[in-house]
Amino acid sequence: MSNQVIPQELSDLLSSTALAHMATIGPKGEPHSSPVWFGWDGEHIRVSQTKARQKYRNLKKNPKIALSIVDPTNPYRYIEVRGTVVDFEEDPNKGFIDEMAQKYLNEPKYPWSKPGEERVVLIIEPEHTATM
Amino acid sequence: MSNQVIPQELSDLLSSTALAHMATIGPKGEPHSSPVWFGWDGEHIRVSQTKARQKYRNLKKNPKIALSIVDPTNPYRYIEVRGTVVDFEEDPNKGFIDEMAQKYLNEPKYPWSKPGEERVVLIIEPEHTATM
């Protein structure tokens, strides 16, 4: 399957090692923003999240999300993807965060895990995009 | 005057030529995110905006905003600034967008103005910061 929302001419940004900046809605309805690692399988965007973080609680309450990704080689080329977190997948074996460490750090294991840290994978369905 | 919200050890990010990723609240309460140029005078963050853009309409309706800024030399160092657009300053002579062109493009005039484009300056008061 592949997602029809992402314009083909910008789909390379979703396979790049750029950071995505993730916007969520906070407890009082206010916007939050933070940089994240992300994965893309042609259908969903995936982001690792610890259950202790504010973003996780934000998304459990309101699963609407936006990600903006700038081309690392051209700061005037970017894509904004808006969508919904359609699932929170448990990641007890840290398989996904290790995959992200491979992608972004070229290391097979995520080096910054903390004891007892519980991770989930945000499964994000793109619904709309915007660009320049 | 200077703003007491920004931690001194991260204040250099606000003077850098990094892009900020700006999160706003859309018409249905959903988050939006896009990269922007920004200025900082030690008290307010300033962002140029055309009146035709969705972000401007979003902020007129809900002035809450968040900006995340990553250190261009270290992707694991960043600041998130949350705050409120406390004023929308008209910029009829394009003074502020030209200032941003000088900062980001090293050109005295913003080269991409469109005929009839109306610009305002978002005056953003930082209220809270988050970091790694």
Q: Which of B13, B25, B34 to mutate to test the interface with A (most CBs of A within 10 A)?
A: B34
CA distance A90 to chain B (A): 22
Residue A26 has pLDDT above 70, yes or no: yes
- Give the per-residue pLDDT at B99: 97
Residue B3: inside a domain, yes or no? no
Average pLDDT value for residue range B98-107: 97
Q: Read off the pLDDT of residues B18-34 as tens digits, 9 standing for 90 and up.
A: 999 999 999 999 999 99
Q: Residue A53 is part of which domain span?
A: 8-130
Residue A126: CATH number of its domain: 2.30.110.10
Residue B2 located in a structural domain = no
Count of domains observed in chain A: 1
Give the pLDDT confidence of A52-105 residue by residue, as tens digits.
888 899 999 999 999 999 999 999 999 999 999 999 999 999 999 999 999 999
What integer pLDDT is reported at residue A54 of this predicted model? 87
Confidence of residue A2 (pLDDT cuts 50, 70, 90): low
C-alpha B62/C-alpha B56 separation (Å) is: 10
Is the residue at B48 inside a domain?
A: yes
Instruction: Tell me, yes or no, whether B61 lies in a domain.
Output: yes
B107 domain-assigned: yes
**Chain B residues with beta carbon closer than 8 angstroms to that of A32:** 23, 66, 80, 82, 130
Each residue's pLDDT tens digit, A6-21: 999 999 999 999 999 9
Per-residue burial over B28-61, b = 16 or more CB atoms within 10 Å of its CB, e = otherwise? eebbbbbbbbbbbeeebbbbbbeeeeebbebbee
Interface of B with A (CB under 8 A): 19, 21-26, 29-35, 54, 62, 64-68, 70, 75, 78, 80, 82, 130
Residue of chain B whose Cα is closest to the Cα of A29: B29
